[in-house]
Structure 1
Amino acid sequence: MSPTGANTAERNSDLNFQLRAWNRKNKLGKVFDSNGCFTLPNGAVLSPDASWVKLESWDSLTLEEQDKFAPYMS
């Protein structure tokens, strides 16, 4: 998608902040912004505005997988 307007960007920033604040308190996973892409099982590549991945799932990836578009993690 093309870039959004300032109002949407501000809401996305707040969403990411809230998710990161929750995760810092609970230390259960990793938080990503829209620069991080994920490859789904059907081959689609998506970059959500904010995403969270369970720590065990993230740690199961190799360093190479973590450095590229991350594969789907259940």
Structure 2
Amino acid sequence: MSLHALERAKRLKEIGQEIGREGMSKRVIAAVAEFDGSYKGAMVLAGRLKAISQMANADDYWRGKVEDGFNLECWK
């Protein structure tokens, strides 16, 4: 992992700590609500959710929920 990626992951974790569980959840809901239904938009949404999932590393419970979703998608 590059230094830039490590710094970004650290900052996202800090943001997760700042906004808390509710804030992270609201960001997911807002991102999904802004999704335009297109193929390209779907991939942009995936990127936004990736960033929010990295924020979830600030909270053990939310990190577990993200892992549950990841595993569910891997099994599909």
| TM-score with structure 1 setting the length | 0.36
Instruction: Give the number of the structure whose residues are more often helix, by fraction.
Output: 2
Higher share of residues assigned strand:
1
Structure with more relative contact order (C-alpha pairs < 8 Å, separation 6 or more): 2
